[in-house]
Amino acid sequence: MIWCQDIRSNKQKVESHLKKASEMMYDDWEEAKKNISQADEISAKSDDNELRNSFYKAAANLYYNRDIFDIALRYNLEAYEYYKENNKVKASEIENLIAIINARMNNKKEALKHFENIYHFNRNIKNYDLAAKALNNIGTIYLHSNKIDSAINYYQKAIQNSINTQEVPIKVISHTNYAEALAAKNENVEAEKEFKYVESLLSKSNDPYLLTNFYTAFSNFYREINKNEFAIEYAEKARDNSKIKYSFQNRDVLQALYKAYYSKGDYKKSSTYFQEYDNVRDSLNIEEKAVNIEKGKIEAEFKNKEQKLELENSKSRLKLLSVILILIVLISALAFVLLRYKNNLVKEKLEKDLSISRTNELNLDLEIRNKELVSKTMLENKKTELYQELIDEIKEKLKSEDIDELKKELNNIIFRLSKNSQRGSMDEFNLRFNNVYNSFYESLMEKHPDLSQTEKKLCAFIKLNLSSKDIADITKTSIKSVENSRTRLRKKLGLTNTNMELHKYISEI
């Protein structure tokens, strides 16, 4: 709430200073400028953009009415940049002043461009007053370029638009300009009728600006048709209403006066008014103002270009950022797809390797089982054959009556059974050992072909990392006997004078 009060207070202060400046604009310009400066300072400190740009618009009008066009243009350009985005109607009003200043400074091409924009915009929104002003200004540019028919055409359009408005000033301006164009075409009767019609419109007006312009134009018309008394009369009326000594309007009034007296032959008065005219003309310093306006225009254009460049750079940065983000997303998606694809490949390979491994394992297990089955079958067949052979021998010996011979033969059979039992155990051990280490014996015999069966068997036990005690238990011998066998084996393998361990050497075969 406090903030709102501050804004309202600032607005009231700015409006108060601008009102004072407007009231004393013609009588005390220095004091008026002080009030404009105070309004400028207050609006600048305010955070209210609308207030700041309202000040620009009002201050521009004040400087424009004083014919200080360079400052007026600068303020107008500031306000125009704000209102063209926020209030197009106000922006069009400001653009009209920008165009007029360009026209007054002889920048006709730029002025025409602005006036055309103003006319079409205001015609579309049915603002006939501003549309008619734009048409008048276009006509005036053509009149000063000696394109009289084009000027008349635009003035007639302005009059048509002014019919739709109740504003007297635009009617006065439109008909006055039309009368001047008719006079330039030497249609003096019609021109005088138009001037008289305008005079009737102004009969109750006390607007010094309108009255001065009209009386100046009417004076020039009468001078051109050699009615010098009327020319002087209206020129004097124009001077009576001209409030600002150093202004373009007063310059035109003094020009009309010295030319009217010159045409009448009153050279003394003509000379006096010419000196005043010359002083005013010099004080206006049109060329310097034109340079300042051009400078202001260039600065405004540079500012606009900088803003456009910054906008384009922002768009480019945003576009680049968008492209980078899209690329990051695409690369991430591609990386994800590739990673997933790679994982699938690895998974498939692992599954395939596992399947092959399982198949190989199954095949190996099947092969081992088949070998065991064949070996066991062969062993069983040998046992069966042996048992049958022994049974037949026992039966044959039982027929003998010699007891001692029978005992001897039975002991022999028992010995053969015992020996066969031991051989059967070792044969089964060799079978299972070969299933696991199927090339061990072949490799061992390639290196050491002179090893006995007992030594080969001891190598197999050592390959299995059995201790001397374990080997003694299996072979039904003493540990000392096993240790001696290991020593002899080490010597036979050529390891006696080396640091190589017997188990390590055999395990590497």
Q: Is the pLDDT of residue 381 over 70?
A: no
* Digit-coded pLDDT (tens) for 221-270: 999 999 999 999 999 999 999 877 878 888 999 999 999 999 999 999 99
Sorting pLDDT into bands at 50, 70 and 90, what band is 479? very high
**CA 291, CA 105: separation in Å to the nearest integer?**
9
Q: What are phi and psi of 167, to 5 degrees?
A: -75, 120
98 near 80, Cβ under 8 Å? Answer: yes
Contact 462, 502 (CB under 8 A): yes
Mean pLDDT value of segment 132-138: 92
Nearest Cα residue to 36 out of 23, 50, 47: 23
Q: Flag the least confident range among 168-182, 313-327, 329-343, 421-435.
A: 421-435
* Residues above pLDDT 70, as percent of the chain: 83
Q: Say how far apart CA 131 and CA 121 lie, in whole Å.
A: 8
390 close to 384: Cβ distance less than 8 angstroms: no
Q: Indicate the helix (H) or strand (E) that contains 406.
A: helix 403-436
∠143-144-148 over CA atoms, to 5°? 25
Whole-angstrom distance, CA of residue 361 vs CA of residue 161: 105
**79-102 average pLDDT score:** 88
Q: What is the pLDDT of residues 48-89, one digit of tens each?
A: 888 988 899 899 989 988 878 889 988 999 888 888 888 888
283 against 190, higher pLDDT:
190
Answer whether residue 366 shows pLDDT above 70: no
- Which three-class secondary structure string do you get for 432-445? HHHHHCCCHHHHHH
Q: Which amino acid is located at 425 in the chain?
A: S
Q: Is the pLDDT of residue 116 over 90?
A: yes
Evaluate if residue 503 carries a pLDDT over 50. Answer: yes
pLDDT band at 496 (very low <50, low <70, confident <90, very high): confident
What pLDDT, in 10s, does the model give residues 338-364? 888 888 888 888 788 777 877 777 766
